[in-house]
Structure 1
């Protein structure tokens, strides 16, 4: 039995099969294959490799949009020299994801304002998305408000479950959450739900000893810290404010003739 193929139907067939990249490229690649005498397997493999590559690129773009990461804060723009206590090699290893995400390991980043905690968490998020993982960046206060609303609507469990799709959840500026803002036990419930399952990257200006201002009672504070540190990587960024140093450097550059005068 002889089967004939109507090449005019290829665009429709490829659209039906959801292969837009193959549909776009097959005329040019097919012409090259005919001219150079490629075997059918090479032609097919070339087309499908382009399809897979473009799907991966589109997926990364979708994940970048949903991650809501601060723009421009990547590992390439992070000044490791300004925070020598943070190892470039260690961060590069974390950027691969792999075992620490599989174990639900947390990253806890401490330091005063302006030292690059947000930049570092965002940079790691960008790298992980490039590696195929899903990330969500949020100010902790915004997420607490969202979860509080979900609790009022009796949808807290569902809201927390939806966050499970993210391999890494970045909670920026935890120290700015105050238990007086409302019932912040929703934050404890999130930490408990992700414990040993999904990872958190938490940035904070204050050490653990000051976290009693976040949770409703001391017992919950201890329980939250216990869960977070059980499987955790702790990064200390106790250095001078990078923003302040940059501002001072700009001031000097803008007025190079300025000199110090004795009192």
Structure 2
């Protein structure tokens, strides 16, 4: 069975009393005059009971733990209650004490430009050591030929000292041209470059003396068979122009 609260019981009693007054089932129904007075008394009493019950109902609601809260006006949204939790303070930016140091330019402005030095032909690696004061020169000459020709290179020492060893290089226009046989030197080929080194008979060249290297050029010598370059100890030979 459901238990009813006192306010609900009081409300039911008031509704029952109002129903009895409307149906005229009032106590003391006897004569006309007495019935009218009794009806007025019941009506007044019912009104008082209704007023008292309403007052009790309002008091009971107001004394409730939850109570009634005021509703916000139409169209207005109630703002949420402020939070009691502490709001963290925004971080404070600290200034760095280190100051930026400008970088030094890589290039130095104190450098003094120098004019380029004149290139001096160097003796190929592994070449002979020429004593100080010994100067060699070479002259190239050819008598010509159809299927080949003979070439001569004269190596001369201008002194004043005696040259002890030398190196002669001849560059041909094509590697298919062959230099053979050779007298007065031994020869090695590396592509189009032919390197001559002296024999025991031609190694020493006294001041004012000349040694001769002779070789044949074999192959297609009718067109473009003349050496492209010739040098003795790195110095250009004469006779090629």
> So what's the TM-score if we normalise by structure 1?
0.20
Q: Which has the higher strand share?
A: 2
Higher relative contact order (CA 8 A, sep 6+): 1
Q: Which has the higher helix share?
A: 1
> So what's the TM-score if we normalise by structure 2?
0.21
